[in-house]
Every structure is written in structure tokens, then in C-alpha cells.
Structure 1
């Protein structure tokens, strides 16, 4: 994996109100081309979205993973490590497919801002962008409008860290470990078969100074066109998202 090419973003940015299906552009901070966007969680519009599975599972068009949905001023940092997967086209698919994996604060029930960092992984007509390295991703909020995002390639020892400021307002009520079907232009990219992503050493730091693993977080799976595309599970210190 070429480390610099793999950066999703080191970004603190505002989200549209009312969970609109498109986040703010990242052209000043993102490593991908202009027009690549990460959005807030988009609720699934599938007819069975509210009745499937466990009451602790939500369905979304673009997010899969685990998210705490807590009172304001709860979280100040989130971290996790994972092996960057080798993406492929879903069975019968052709062309370009992509997904991203990241950790973040807010963007779920708090819709005014998000602090996140992670990587994209893509496949274009069978050509994979990169794969295989183990990375650690961490975000730390310093205030409602500032924070630090850090990505360390644990396979090579290279670290990139960025201090960020924005007019976006964090609520500190969501801590997340997410695989996303992100947007380019005005629509979601074709979602890659990423196999599985397991966030290990998954920890959220509380404003009170304590820490918590993902146990008890709400599980989120991606549902598009009435088809569930992911399966998410957690342990006391890990979140696994699998493509189904």
C-alpha cells in the first residue's frame, strides 16, 4: 500500500442540516479528487428496514459499523486499527467500485459536524488501488470546532497527523467505527465487495476521562434496493463489518 495515496481524509467539516444525503466537499483536506464526499448516515428507505433483525440494528444506505448514540458531551476521542482490505467487484459486476473505512466523532445523531479519518479502497476493472497494510486511525476533539486526526501505517511505521479547525460544531454524542459507501459527485459510488474489515483495539475516550469499547453501540448495516449488503458484529474491543 502506498501510504499517502491511501488517505481518505484528515477532516473536520460541517454536515448539512437534517441529514441531507451529501456531506461537505473535502477538496482542501481530502487526498482524493475533488467531488469525493462523505455524508452523514442516510436512513434506509427499504420497506422492511424497521422490522429486520435485532432491535439494536439500524439500516442505512451508506454506513455500516457501530455507532454510540449518547448524550452530548460524552466522547472526545476514537481509535481503531484494521487491515486495509483487497476490494473486488461484486459478483457479476464490472467497472469501478469503492468503499472507505474510518473512525469518527458525530455525523450520526449529531448532524452539525463530524471529525473523522480513514482510508478509501477501490477497484477499477480488476485493478486494485492498494491493499494489505495494517493502519491505526485516531481522532481527538479539542473543542467543538477543532481537533486532531492521525493515521499510522503500522506496517511501515509512517504517521500522518493534522490539526484541524472549522466552523462545524461537534456535539461529542457519537463515537463510530464505520465502513462507508461514500459519494462522488451527486451519488453514491458503486459499493465494493471489501470482504471484511475488523477494527481492533477499538476504543472511545470519554470526556470524563474513562474509555469504552464498542459493546453496547448501535450496529448499522447497509441496505440498498431492499438488499442488505453488510453484516456487523462487535466484541468488547472490536468491530467487524463483512460484505454479504
Structure 2
């Protein structure tokens, strides 16, 4: 892992730089780490890759931030620090990570050539029951998120176990902060401010951010492409890595032309 220091903390990221290309900076979702993108490492033969651990996740130092805009802004600082170090030209975000990417485009006018949004939405309201479990019964929250069609469609025990273990490692406090930040996120009236090409990718069976969330994004972002990944849920990049990579590779090539 490589690191970058900024705003009094250290952010860790995995860098794979084998080929020339626009470069992709990947941003994970709530309770996750950059490891959620391991299935995309095959794309290193096409372009440099950076997988960020947001503050308080994986190997990155935590930040003292209240849930909501303050946390979203801190996570955006993490991504900007990595992007400035690597000069990656494409930002790829899933779920909370997609919210960070949208925030960077809308509020920070980030200098990139394209964005990829998956498991995403212009608003990311969280079920009241899940918010309660995140506060009082973290184990129940983890089980709920791993019911089929939520985080994952696959029931492969190794894949599900790794995903659950990541939430446990991140811990209740940070994971709850992430979901509360999602719950406050709402850019429905600002999507026309996204002024770079956007690839919007969704899993056909995603019950957390269903297809119509993504259809709305694609309708409202001026220059966007909408793609469905069949037989995938919220984390389509894990459920169907080859299909996801094929779509992403085509987008990378279009940016690099």
C-alpha cells in the first residue's frame, strides 16, 4: 500500500501502474475498503489503477467528522489527495463512494475526464430498521446487508464471508457513520452540474439502490451511458467481475481516445 498525507491524516491506497492510460481511482462504499475492487485488478493491463481506503477504513487513519456533509467532505479530501498524487483521470465509485464522486463533481469541480457510478443514486436514503440495527445490533445489520439481492446476489460462502469480515474489521462506529452520511446525501436537483462523461452501471437484482435510481442518474446527468449487469446485486463488481470489467474497459478506452 502507498500513502499520502493531507489534512493532518494519512490515506492509504493500492496503486497498480503497469500501462499507460487515463488512470482509474476507485472509491469503495459504506463499511468497505479498497479490496472491494480486487476483481478489477485485471484492468491494470489497460490503465493504471488506484484503490483508496477512505478515512477510518482499511489502512487509512480515521478522521474526526460528524456523519453527513462533514464526513462526505472528508472522504472527498481523501480521494482528491490520491487523485492529485496519481493524476488519475477517471473516478469510479460504488454506493457511498459514488456519492463522494458526485460530490467532487458538483461541489468541488474536480478535474477529471470521466466518472463511473455503480450501486448509486442521487439520493441514498437508508431504511429506518437498518439505521436502528447499526446503532443497537451490528450483527443484525451485517446479516441484513448480506441477504440475497442486497450487497450481493451470489451466495458463495467464501465471498459472503469476506464481505462480512470487512464490515467487522471496519467496525460499527465507522460503518454507522457511513450509512448516516448516505442517508443525508441528496443531489437530485444538482445532477446537471456534472459536466464530464458518466458511465452508470447497475446490478439487475440490486435491492439497495434499485435500477430506477440509476435510470434517474442517467436521465439527469447530461452526458451519460446506462448499463445493466444481469444477475448482480448492489456490488456488481463482485457478483459479475468479468461483465463489469468489460463495460468499464470500454469506457476507459473511450476516455483514452
TM-score normalized with structure 1 length: 0.29
Q: Higher relative CO (CA 8 A, sep ≥ 6), structure 1 or 2?
A: 1
Structure with bigger helix share is 2
Question: Could you state the TM-score of these two structures normalised by the residue count of structure 2?
Answer: 0.28
Larger relative strand fraction: 1
